[in-house]
Amino acid sequence: MDDTERDGVVALWTACNLVVPWNDPVADIALARSKPNAALLVGCEDGRVVASVMVGHDGHRGWLYYLAVDPACRGHGYGRALVAAAERWLIEAGMPKVHLLVRETNHAVMAFYERLGYATSPVTMMQKWLRTASP
């Protein structure tokens, strides 16, 4: 991703209902782009951002975030291509596995990842806010 694509990525995430009040997409993009262990990959069509994925690692495992494909462009392989590109990025970084989070009510997205070989893990995700979330 380059600087000129940021607003297109934020608009895409918003159109795909990935933006929630406690996650500022502009801040998330800036943080990922400021670290050597993260990248934001985009797919463009006619100069317009139509797909994106944020990829990163913690030195032990890789993570995928914000996979999004413009609803009008779904079914054309953008999501599959970006997941494959993110996986290659992680392999090049030496990561042995990749994780991602999907809301348990998002059955269509779970089915998409299952078709790509992902499986549900028998774990419980826990969290703690280290800073106050901005509404």
For the chain, domain boundaries: 3-115
Which range is least confidently modeled, 7-11, 97-101, 113-117, 125-129? Answer: 125-129
Question: What is the rounded CA–CA span in Å between residue 56 and residue 8?
Answer: 20
DSSP, residue by residue, 35-92: STTEEEEEEEETTEEEEEEEEEE-SS-EEEEEEEE-GGGTTSSHHHHHHHHHHHHHHH
Report if pTM > 0.75: yes
* The domain defined by 3-115 carries CATH number 3.50.50.60: no
Query: What are 11's two structure tokens?
Result: 């608009």
Residue 135 has pLDDT above 70, yes or no: no
